[in-house]
Copies of this chain bind each other. A is one copy, B any other.
Amino acid sequence: MGFEDASQVCTGILSSSDTGKKTTALSLNSIINLDHGDPTMFEPYWRNLGEKCKLVISGSDVMSYFSDPGNICWFLEPKLANAIRVLHRLVGNAVAEDRHILVGTGSTQLFQAALFALSTPDAPEPISVVSTAPYYSSFKEEVEFLRSGLYKWQGDAKTFHKEGPYIEVVTSPSNPDGTIRRAVVNREGGKLIHDLAYYWPQYTPITGAADHDVILFTFSKCTGHAGSRIGWAIVKDEQVARRMTKFMELSSIGVSKESQLRAAKILEVLNAGLQNGSGSENFFEYGRHIMAKRWFELRYIVKSNSKIFGLPEYPVEFCNFSKGTTIAHPAFAWLESKQDEDIEKLLRAHKMLCRTGTRFGSEQKYVRISMLSRDEVFDEFLERLAAIKGGTENQ
């Protein structure tokens, strides 16, 4: 199931556009869509900050194609580049100083830009692209849909034995299962893309500053602003940065300036909160609190129903950001059917749309469930999940 099923995403959710607030009317017959990782959970946080986050754009602002003509990434707003560098320094999750920062239309565009940049135009055959299963469900389709002669999807990195150059995509924490990943092929001629979309304190302990050749992040999962379609890459090599920029020039002549200004504004407010405050001013502590609460509730229901359902366990680790031991609360739950059922079908029969494990190079006894929906949707999901076997009478 992909975004083509968008028509089902908001069933039962009424939007009051005047106030910007969402009101719900989830009926028993509503379909709940937890297929996408639409991070609407974070809306109340940003709404509560009110005027602070307000962006004003005048009619004649940012009309040019160019943001920073002297920079390799000539369409990158300097304010955004600066906010990104400050953010990584404060969170400690990646080395961004003395690196090239590139902006993309979401990390989706940057992933494809990296494939283009790391492939060789005059190679005798397309370079292999692999990722450890279960891998992000869109990688395969994004690599394959244009039938590029530059690169070719080869599936699970764990079973990849082909000679020659390859690109390994390392998603850590993993989408869908939240585990911490390392490159597994480790052969000569290998090139790495590190997709660290979920390496933020609300989802996982920050155990060190990532320092890889190509790292991808996305505004969507950092702050919840998916609609802005802003991603960024941190790139070591100048030629790779130039080729990735070339990709974005050819595919879209750069990236929305309005979204870049918005992202810069939001990140500046976020950074100021980290520098000055604590508690509600610390977005990541706020996020971690909600995620922990949701995971506690989900684990309680799954444990009460442990003959039917299972969830991965995550290690307790020291988080450099929180200055204490914490545990992962991933953006997705990788729910397992203990009875080897087609669990996506089972949940669908109970009006919950989730993404089947087979889409991630795994089995149909697994399903990926978004943990980032609005409160009312998440609460309804828990109720329906708990009701699947009629409570705990069969325990």
A residues at B contact (CB < 8 Å) = 2-4, 6-10, 20, 36, 38-40, 42-47, 49-50, 52-67, 69-70, 74, 105-106, 108-109, 112, 116, 121, 138, 141-142, 145-150, 220, 224-230, 242, 245-247, 249-259, 261-262, 266, 269
Q: How far is the CA of A312 from the CA of B124 in the complex (A)?
A: 45
User: Across the interface, do B36 and A59 meet the contact criterion of CB distance under 8 Å?
Assistant: no
B residues less than 8 Å from A142 (CB atoms): 250-251
Knowing A47-B60, A54-B58, A148-B147, the reply to whether A66 touches B20 (Cβ < 8 A) is: no
Partner of A54, one of B56, B253, B262: B56
| A–B Cβ pairs within 8 angstroms, 15 of them | A8-B69, A10-B66, A38-B66, A40-B63, A46-B58, A47-B58, A54-B59, A57-B57, A62-B228, A108-B251, A108-B252, A148-B148, A229-B256, A230-B256, A255-B256
Knowing A59-B46, A146-B148, say if A69 contacts B7 (CB, 8 Å): yes
Smallest CB separation, A66 vs chain B (Å): 6
Bound Cα distance A255, B261 (Å): 15
Task: Report B-chain residues with C-beta under 8 Å of the C-beta of A249.
Answer: 2-4
How distant is the Cα of A39 from the Cα of B62 in the complex, in angstroms?
11
Instruction: Please tell me if the beta carbons of B49 and A64 are within 8 angstroms of each other in the complex.
Output: no
In the bound complex, CA of A67 to CA of B3 (Å): 12
Q: Return the chain B residue nearest A9 by Cβ.
A: B69
B258–A228 CB distance below 8 A: yes
Instruction: Give the 3 A-B CB pairs with smallest separation, nearest first.
Output: A53-B59, A147-B149, A256-B256
- In the complex, the chain B residue whose C-beta lies closest to that of A374 is B64
CB distance from A318 to the nearest CB of B (A): 31
With contact pairs A65-B227, A146-B148, A251-B108 given, residues A60 and B38 touching in the complex (Cβ less than 8 Å): no
Of chain B, the residue at the smallest CB distance from A110 is: B252
A251 touches B112 (CB 8 A): yes
Provide the bound-state CA to CA distance between A23 and B71, in Å.
21
User: Cβ of A246: which chain B residues have Cβ within 8 Å of it?
Assistant: 4
Contact yes or no, A266 B74, CB < 8 A:
no
CB A306 to nearest CB in B, in angstroms, measures 34
Assembly CA distance A142 to B246 (angstroms): 11
Which chain B residues border A224 with CB–CB below 8 Å? Answer: 63
Determine if A60 and B74 form an interchain contact, defined as CB atoms under 8 angstroms apart. Answer: no
Name the residue among A60, A245, A262 with the largest chain B CB count within 10 angstroms.
A60
Which residue on B lies nearest to A263, using beta carbons? B258
Query: Is A256's CB under 8 angstroms from B259's CB?
Result: yes
B60, B65, B252, B262: the one within 8 Å of A43 (CB): B60
Q: Which residue of B lies closest to A77 (CB)?
A: B227
Instruction: Contact check, A62 vs B149: say whether CB atoms are below 8 A apart.
Output: no
Q: Is the CB of A39 within 8 A of B66?
A: no
Q: How far is the CA of A31 from the CA of B246 in the complex (A)?
A: 23
Residue from B55, B229, B261 in contact with A252 in the complex, judged by beta carbons closer than 8 Å: B229
Given A63-B225, A251-B109, check contact A146 B116 (CB 8 Å): yes
